[in-house]
Amino acid sequence: MSNKPPKDAKQEKETPAKETDLEKCARELEAARTEAQTNLDGWKRAKADYQNLLKDSARERLETVKFATENLLHELLPLVDYFKYGLKAVPEAEKNSAWMQGMTHIYNQFMSVLKDHGVEELKTVGEKFDPAMHQSVEEVKSDTKPGTIVEEVASGFRLNGKVIQVAKVKISK
């Protein structure tokens, strides 16, 4: 007979060690899976943040382009009122003259260019006073309902839907 331990005894000694190695591998595998899931979740959040940044940047660029001309318009828009004042002051005898027709054409072209660039004139006379679009410079007696605009003193404008210059108006008492 040999001095070798029986086969079952050898297997019994090796089994606990193998289970320990197996358990260790299982724990390491679980830790690696957890770390991989954490990394994947972080990557997904970073990707979503980046996509939101791209959307926000694109929206900001559009807003900048949309309203980039606003400062220039603030300097040009008084010309609309100057044209209106000038056209109103023309003597009756000159209203059908060639130069008056030319001035009216220039005014209409100017208004058309403004419209093509997203500028629209605010409606005033006959409208209900709205402090977001109108500035009251005087209250006058009138047959119209109180708070109704009866006269425009200076034009108001919107640029792409945003009020960039309120209209100065007279309203009924």
CATH number of the structural domain spanning residue 161: 2.30.22.10
Q: What is the pLDDT of residue 68?
A: 75
Average pLDDT for 35-48: 95
pLDDT digits (tens, 9 = 90+) for 70-123: 888 888 999 999 999 999 999 999 989 999 999 999 999 999 999 998 899 999
User: Model confidence at 133, in pLDDT bands (50, 70, 90)?
Assistant: very high
User: Model confidence at 22, in pLDDT bands (50, 70, 90)?
Assistant: confident
Six token digits for residue 16 = 């606990």
Lowest mean pLDDT among 6-15, 39-48, 164-173: 6-15
- Whether the pLDDT of residue 2 is over 70: the answer is no
Total tally of structural domains belonging to the chain:
2
Q: Which of 171, 169, 155, 170 is nearest to 73 (CA)?
A: 155
Q: Is residue 2 situated within a structural domain?
A: no
Q: What is the pLDDT of residue 123?
A: 94
Q: Do residues 106 and 124 both lie within one domain?
A: yes
Q: Do residues 41 and 56 both lie within one domain?
A: yes
- Whether the pLDDT of residue 14 is over 70: the answer is no
Q: What is the pLDDT of residue 152?
A: 95
Q: Round the average pLDDT of the chain to a whole number and report it.
A: 88
Q: Do residues 63 and 75 both lie within one domain?
A: no
Q: Which domain holds residue 22?
A: 7-68
164 φ, ψ (degrees, to nearest 5): -110, -15
Q: What is the pLDDT of residue 82?
A: 94
User: Model confidence at 63, in pLDDT bands (50, 70, 90)?
Assistant: confident
Q: Do residues 62 and 126 both lie within one domain?
A: no
pTM: 0.60
Q: What is the pLDDT of residue 8?
A: 53
Average pLDDT for 155-162: 92
